[in-house]
Chains A and B, each alone.
Chain A
Amino acid sequence: MRNISIICSLIAILSINCYAQSELLQITRVSHSVKSISIPNNEDVIIRFNVNEACNCRVVFFDQLANQLRVFDIPNANSGPQEIRWDGLNYSGNPTQDEVVLYIIEATTSDGRNAVYNPADQTGGLSMKTLEYTFDRETEKIEYVLPKACKVRIRVGLKDGMFLGNIVDWEPQEAGRHQFIWEGTDSSKIFNVKNRKDLELQMTCYTLPDNTIIVNSRPSQQHISKPADLVNVKREKLWAIKGKDIHYQHDPRICHQPQFSITFPTAQKKDENQVCLSGIVPVRIDIAPEDFIQLVNARFEVMIFVDGIFIHEVEEGMSPFTYQFDTTNLLQGRHVLTVNILGYHDHIGVLSQQLIIGERQ
């Protein structure tokens, strides 16, 4: 009986000791003063958080490819509230070029215990499949509500037919109500499909991690594209991407509407917008160099439409791609040729060209 008491006492002492040693260092009450900042407007963001004991704190900002942009150290921080202020600039004092920046908070005690705040795994890259939007054809207003900050694409197309381009091309947007005016034109400004019954708007979005700051550093949206070296494994070490929305898994540099050109090597060009064709003429499609590698790696299809009607498809696309266009069955006059480049990773390039079909040669 006495032995049992001794054993119980030892267990109790050990338990108390273990509890004392494993007391958790915690980072809590994390918040950011704003979700978006505009560098041209000299805006900044304040990151606030609490630590439950004295420690060294560090806040690290990363771009979407996990490149470190800036580090803020708070050495020997007392327990309690902490804050840092970030102006959107990187180490070199230049505006960050990425629109989406993640911050990670690390805390380390003098005896080596540490804590990390990085909710990207749990909160980023979740597909938002059931979002509703409205398009009022009279006011030309598109409206929707995002329950969380997301990256958003709105694609225009005709039902069972051609795509007409992205009117929102993977823009990071804050949670809340969004509305904008769309006059109903395609990306080439040739078609107006606002009143077509077969018009389809397709909205696709995925959540941005809670620890995201949206940075507007450019007056107009430009894509940061790079032709090679699009494989980045470093990102996965910082936050999970597998099993998430397919576009969240992509290298962010490839998530946009691919660019390409249409040329008519043997045709007369009436002006910048119109080409005169007759007979059988080659139509050449060239993928832009910055999009070539990603499309080839993902594989792509080429679809060709005249006046919105499907005329040709090639499953295994290549660039340049030359199609012998037989115009002899078309009525003389104005027509529109539309080419869709469909990347198998769900990126679609769209371009239309006005044509004037002349007499048969």
Chain B
Amino acid sequence: MKNCRVQLLFTDKDMVIKILTVSIILLTVTGCQNGRQPKVGPSIQAETREAGHSYIAFTALTGQYWQIWTISSDGGNLKQITNSKMDKRFPTWSADHGAIYYSSTNGQLYCMNVAANEEKQIYASPERYESLIESPGGVYHVLVHFDSQRLDDADLWITAAGELNLKILLKDKGYQNAPSWSSDGNQLVYVDSTGYRTEEVCQLDIQSRRRIQLTNNNRTDMLPSYSPNDSRIVFVSDRTGDYEIWIMNSDGGNDKQLTESPGLDSFPCWSPDGNKIAFISGRSGELALWIMNADGSGQKQVTHGMQCMYSSWQRTFGK
């Protein structure tokens, strides 16, 4: 069936030529603009395990360790991706969807080539890193660096993808973590600890390093993520006394609560088209992956019978 589809697609020779031409131009432009050779992860073009579906990566307790799993957006194709004897945290997709980055509980970073089933440690260092995110086009990596001597001290560092040339991107008092790229790669949203048990969502302009605080309520606002068109930010807040998923405009205005359930609702991420949000919820008695519409309607449990944490949906930047 798959072969038939491929044959049908390629019967129009003109169309094929047009697609190839556009692809070459796009690749050339991207390469020139950035002047960099991506990347540390495997360069496998868009994950095509099942045409028409995008994939969500998450961690699940598998035996004694938390492993990376993926599932397609319709809830099918559940697949265990990693198998090594260590806990995995904060999985994120590479820009080309061919790899998943994650960190270990010891603060070491790894890259899993999904197609080749190959796990590789990256940026090996005695330092402790977490939450690697790859910029649009796979040019830069931003990651969270933890101070090994001091409690609750973390900063954002940046490097050209694959080059062990880490530089401080943002270092403030306390910790800055959970970064997420805008689709044009010019901004990040991240979390800044502003006091005891208070975290606020902030925005950083990469070029000017100008920071804007987007939330201000002396509660915990965390795990922000830009929508694919950058107009909105989904995040988690405990301002109602319970961790729930919220959404706001990218300037911090018009915030709205999307979930309301006892227990944890956290780790939200956008679908590539911006119409849906995946998240982790404990409302059913197990920490499961859920999907809802971006307005909070249609909340549906996707995984069953497994304890899950974190979620990362394949993103298509620039839409």
Contacts and interface: CB of A to CB of B under 8 A. Distances in A.
B264 A284 contact: no
Contacts of A318: 66, 87, 89, 309
A297 B177 contact: no
A320 interface: yes
A315 interface: yes
Interface string A313-357: 111101011111000000000000000000010000000000000
B151 A313 contact: yes
A352 B266 CA distance: 31
Given A284-B64, A318-B66, A293 B263 contact: yes
B257 interface: no
Contact of B151 (A299, A310, A320): A310
Nearest to B59: A318
B177 A265 contact: no
Interface string B58-87: 000100111000000000000000000111
Interface in B234-256: 241-243
B263 A324 contact: no
Interface size on A, as a range, is: 20 to 34
A237 B233 CA distance: 36
A344 B220 CA distance: 10
Secondary structure of the A contact surface, majority rule: mixed
A160 B150 CA distance: 9
A231 B262 contact: yes
A228 interface: yes
Contact of A282 (B85, B151, B241): B85
A312 interface: yes
A313 B146 contact: yes
Given A312-B106, A318-B309, A322-B86, A265 B64 contact: yes
B282 interface: yes
B151 A297 contact: no
B52 interface: no
A204 to B, nearest CB: 14
Contacts of B87: 318, 321-322
A324 B86 contact: yes
B229 interface: no
Contacts of A57: none
Contacts of A231: 262-263
B103 to A, nearest CB: 10
A215 interface: no
B105 A296 contact: no
Contacts of A321: 87, 105
Nearest to A317: B105
Interface residues of B, number: 33
B13 interface: no
A219 B49 CA distance: 62
Interface string A232-248: 00000000000000000
A324 B104 contact: yes
Given A293-B263, A315-B177, A323 B64 contact: no
B35 interface: no
Contacts of B154: 315
B228 to A, nearest CB: 25
Contacts of B65: 322
Nearest to B265: A297
Interface in A207-238: 228, 230-231
A228 B285 CA distance: 8
Given A322-B64, A322-B87, A297 B105 contact: no
Given A322-B64, A322-B105, A323-B105, A297 B89 contact: no
A79 B220 CA distance: 54
* Most chain B Cβ neighbours within 10 Å, of A231, A321, A324, A344: A324
Nearest to B236: A299
Nearest to A232: B262
A296 B308 CA distance: 12
Interface string B260-282: 00111010000000000000001
Interface of A: 160, 228, 230-231, 249, 265, 282, 284, 293, 296-297, 299, 303, 310, 312-316, 318, 320-324, 344
Which 5 pairs of residues, A with B, have the shortest CB-CB distance? A231-B262, A297-B263, A297-B264, A324-B106, A322-B87
